Amino acid sequence: MGRAITGADHPVVLYVLGGNTQVIAYAEQRYRIFGETLDIAVGNCLDRFARALQISNDPAPGYNIEQLAKQGGRVLLDLPYAVKGMDCSFSGILTRAEELAAQMKAGNGKGPDGEPFTGADLCFSLQETVFAMLVEITERAMAHVGSSQVLIVGGVGCNERLQEMMGLMAADRGGSVYATDERFCIDNGIMIAHAGLLAYETGFRTPLEESTCTQRFRTDEVLVKWRK
């Protein structure tokens, strides 16, 4: 689906939905998961952090963190960086960010320069850290499969800083980044319909009465017949 909209040819896909974080690439008729989060998803981490800072949900917590982060950046606060091979974890970062938020509210939060930091600095530091992790695991997968294209899919993929960082990494490898916009980042219905259409075209049939819903379909379970 992302491929149809963006025209990317053989991309590594960073899949960043609220509930899931995976790096996927296509090899031998399946999308294979090269890396994923070992605990909570990145979207979940951002949402929970927004709650700790009482950042509004309107229109989305991630969007508001992004806007606030643009005002920060005087300092980079030290947060744990947790990449293990092609996997990563976000719960330790969330815990530390929540601690820092509590210190700030209590009026005794100090940055590495000894000056008090702001909520904007925290948003900035959180974004810089978790996005660097996402870009790093994506780059590993690209080196592994020999691809220089990245496709970002999912709500967090709308973040402009993430897109910018991914773009810098891809340019370094002589490639480019493709992102889908809000209309497609979020709508799972369209994605399922699109996948179904592609399967239909290759002769895959499921009578309506046999159709069921599998919430737990893993990305790498689906046989992909429509690609070579």
Partner 1 sequence: MAADAQFPPPKVLTYPASAPPSLITQGAEGRVYKTTHLLPDRPSALKYRPPKPYRHPILDARLTKARISSEAKVLERCWREGVPVPPVYAMDPAAGWMMMEWIEGIPVRVGINEWLGERPEDGEEPAEAAEEAPLIDLMKRIGTAVGALHRTGVVHGDLTTSNMMLRQRKEDQVNGGTGAESKAKAVAGDVVIIDFGLATQSMADEDRAVDLYVLERAFASTHPRAERLFATVLESYKHTFKKAPSVLIKLEDVRLRGRKRSMLG
Q: Where do contacts with partner 1 occur on this chain (CB under 8 A)?
A: 76, 78, 81, 84-85, 128-129, 132, 135-136, 139-140, 142-144, 164-166, 168-169, 172, 216, 218, 220-221
The distance of closest approach from Cβ of residue 110 to partner 1 in the complex, given in angstroms and rounded to an integer, is: 16
Smallest gap from residue 52 Cβ to partner 1 (A): 21
**Nearest to partner 1 of 143, 193 (CB atom):** 143
Tokens 């998961």 — which residue? 33
- Minimum distance of partner 1 from residue 57's CB (angstroms): 27
Query: 171 vs 23, 164, 197, CA distance in Å?
Result: 19, 10, 33
Give whichever of 5 and 73 is closer to partner 1, judged by the CB atom: 73
Q: Which is nearer to partner 1, 140 or 194 (CB)?
A: 140
Q: 50 vs 75, which CB is nearer to partner 1?
A: 75
For residue 76, the minimal CB distance to partner 1 (Å) is 5
The angle, 0 to 180 degrees and rounded to 10, between the axes of the packed helices 42-52 and 119-145 is: 180
132/126 Cα distance (integer angstroms): 10
On whether the CB atoms of residues 152 and 22 are closer than 8 A, the answer is: no
Residue 8: name the closest of 26, 21, 22 by CA.
26
Q: Tokens at residue 86, please?
A: 């092609």
Helix (H) or strand (E) holding 93: helix 91-105
Which residues 6+ apart lie within 8 Å of 193 measured at CB? none
Rounded CA separation 62/202 (Å) = 38
Rg of the chain over Cα atoms, rounded to whole angstroms, equals 19
Is the Cβ of residue 104 or residue 150 nearer to partner 1 in the bound state?
A: 150
| Minimum gap (Å) between residue 81 Cβ and partner 1 | 6
| Closer residue to partner 1 (CB): 64 or 129 | 129
CA–CA gap between residue 199 and residue 116 (Å, rounded) = 56
Report the nearest approach of partner 1 to the CB of residue 209 (Å): 26
